[in-house]
Structure 1
Amino acid sequence: MKVKSILSEGKQIQLATELVRLGARLQVLEVSTTLSRERLVKLYKEVKGVSPPKGMLPYSEDWFTGWQPNMHSSLFINIYNYITQYTNVRDIDAIIKSYQLYLEHIEVNHLQCILSFTRAWTLVRFVESKVLSVTSCVKCTGNFLVHSLDIQSNHVCGLCHVPSRAGKTKRAAAQKAKEAQEVEIREACAV
């Protein structure tokens, strides 16, 4: 018969609750805690008020190398690397702390959150398994994510060499139109 510690189970529930609040998918909870799937589903429903989403986790290292996702992913992985290098925080706790700092940075700078917790967790796994790696930009010396098999000797990041279509999404166009309309209204009111 397996003996369960109430304290360790409480810590696992607390960890799972934190992961759910950060947006982790059920598969991440299963890997990161020792709780049964049934308990995790119940906990997810209790915390979020809805059943956990079904389906596979996003699995494509290419997503992390697109222009905007790369900027956010690189920010996150640099935070993660700093935390693991200079503190005693490891494993899922390091991912949680790094993601919380990422979210704070996004909020303070009024940016759109591109990187979900599940993608951040997947990113760490990709870096640890050497599918993706971090390399320095030759212009700004910042550290950015790249495919591990790419030639990295003369890497120029997406901030130093912005793609021609960067930021030209429907949302950006709508925001620009809204700002132009607000300017017109202000000018009309000033007359």
Structure 2
Amino acid sequence: MREKSLLSEAKQIQLATDLIKLGARLQVLEANTELSRERLVRLYKEIKGVSPPKGMLPYSEDWFTSWQPNVHSSLFINIYNFIIKHTNIYPIDAIIKSYKLYLEHIEINRLQRVLSLTRAWTLVRFLESKVLRVIPCTKCKGNFIVHSLEIHSNHVCGLCNIPSRAGKTKKKVA
């Protein structure tokens, strides 16, 4: 039986801590660390002061293709793809760094955060499994997310084709 390295365990705890602080759900922690579920739950409680949310991840690929989530998801995935292309880091570390840059962009521009870390992680998984894909907009040439099974090729992104009701939420009207 292989003896556990203290340094390796410390790195796993640091990774889990970073993910928890960014709002990752327990399933994300389990998939990306070698720590036991019990240790992850204890760590989550210690950091957040509450038990982790229970239940399955409720996200479908359709969420990523609706207007506002698509804009935010496309921003995140472009950052992620740049980091993956130009660095030699693990994908989970690229997700963390990309998500931090996404949050920085949202804060600087005083935008509402639409994408959670768990959704960002799910997005990467959907792209890896080819459920979703990234394609260039025919107008601005920027890359954005679409369903892999969409047939037509003249895709226009949500920034070039803003829906007439965009930004007119009940919250803003009130």
Structure 1 length-normalised TM: 0.89
1: CA distance, partners of 2:152 / 2:41: 43
The 8 Å contact of residues 58 and 119 in structure 1, kept in 2 or not, is answered as: no
**RMSD across aligned positions (CA):** 0.9
1: CA distance, partners of 2:119 / 2:163: 23
Structure 2 equivalent of residue 33 of structure 1: 33
Larger-gyration structure (1/2): 1
* TM-superposed deviation, 1:2: 4.0
The 8 Å contact of residues 127 and 133 in structure 1, kept in 2 or not, is answered as: yes
Per-residue displacement from partner, 1:22-66 (whole Å, max 9, x unpaired)? 000001000000000000000000000000000111230000000
The 8 Å contact of residues 135 and 152 in structure 1, kept in 2 or not, is answered as: no
* TM-superposed deviation, 1:72: 0.1
Per-residue displacement from partner, 1:111-154 (whole Å, max 9, x unpaired)? 00000000000000000111000011111111100001112520
Letter in 1 for 2:122: T
Structure 2 equivalent of residue 16 of structure 1: 16
- Whether 1:163 aligns to 2:163 is yes
Q: How many residues align?
A: 174
2: CA distance, partners of 1:58 / 1:152: 28
Q: Give 5+ residue unaligned stretches, structure 1.
A: 175-191
* TM-superposed deviation, 1:163: 1.1
2: CA distance, partners of 1:157 / 1:151: 16
Letter in 1 for 2:64: F
2: CA distance, partners of 1:65 / 1:83: 23
- Whether 1:117 aligns to 2:117 is yes
What percent identity do the matched residue pairs reach?
76
- Whether 1:145 aligns to 2:136 is no
Which one is further off, 81-90 or 64-73? 81-90
The 8 Å contact of residues 64 and 70 in structure 1, kept in 2 or not, is answered as: yes
Matches within 5 A, 1:36-185: 36-174=36-174
Letter in 2 for 1:114: V
* TM-superposed deviation, 1:173: 1.2
* TM-superposed deviation, 1:88: 1.0
1: CA distance, partners of 2:117 / 2:48: 15
Q: Give 5+ residue unaligned stretches, structure 2.
A: none
The structure that is helix-richer by fraction is 1
Question: Where has structure 1 moved over 2 Å in runs of 4 or more?
Answer: none
